[in-house]
């Protein structure tokens, strides 16, 4: 490479490195759009708390594990990294009978709290919400 080309390569590398902080802050922006609010890892907004209560009431941990990391059923921590909200809702409400996932569309608690359940599990998947007991922010 000649000197001019070397300088161009170095300039391009500097521009790329200068842009990294902006690229690295993208997850923080995404967190602003998160469907949950969490503080100190275990304090959440009322809707997310309702999702957690639904999780507990439906005993989902029997298949997906108490920390949502999978047992007989898949890890929801991993699944919610790739499933869209609509795919999640369809899976829970319609089930995947061939894979052992029952449908919950006739469960009033699940159907009325499906967005809250998604918020809770998305928070677990994002690593923002700790496993275990939750409480409402401000209480």
| pLDDT tens column, 89-135 | 999 999 999 999 999 999 999 999 999 999 999 999 999 999 999 99
38 inside domain: no
Farthest CA pair distance, the chain: 71
Average confidence (pLDDT) over 69-86: 97
From 41, 47, 120, select the one nearest 80 (Cα to Cα): 120
Enter the pTM of the model.
0.77
Where are the strands (E) in the chain, listed by range? 38-39, 43-44, 135-136
126 inside domain: yes
pLDDT at 15: 39
CATH value at residue 85: 1.10.760.10
18 inside domain: no
d(CA 79, CA 106): 23
State the average pLDDT for the chain: 84
| pLDDT tens column, 10-55 | 444 433 333 333 333 333 334 568 999 999 999 999 999 999 999 9
91 inside domain: yes
23 inside domain: no
CA atoms within 13 A on the CB side of 135: 4
């Amino acid at each position: 490479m000649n000197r001019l080309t070397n300088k161009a390569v170095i300039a391009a590398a500097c521009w790329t490195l200068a842009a990294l902080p902006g690229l690295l802050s993208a997850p923080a922006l995404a967190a602003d759009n998160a469907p949950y609010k969490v503080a100190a890892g275990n304090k959440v907004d009322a809707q997310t708390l309702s999702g957690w209560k639904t999780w507990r009431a439906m005993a989902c941990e029997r298949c997906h594990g108490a920390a949502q990391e999978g047992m007989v059923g898949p890890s929801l921590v991993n699944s919610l990294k790739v499933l869209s909200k609509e795919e999640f809702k369809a899976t829970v409400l319609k089930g995947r009978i061939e894979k052992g996932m029952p449908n919950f569309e006739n469960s009033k608690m699940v159907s009325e709290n499906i967005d809250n359940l998604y918020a809770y599990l998305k928070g677990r998947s994002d690593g923002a919400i700790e496993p275990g007991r939750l409480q409402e922010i401000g209480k």
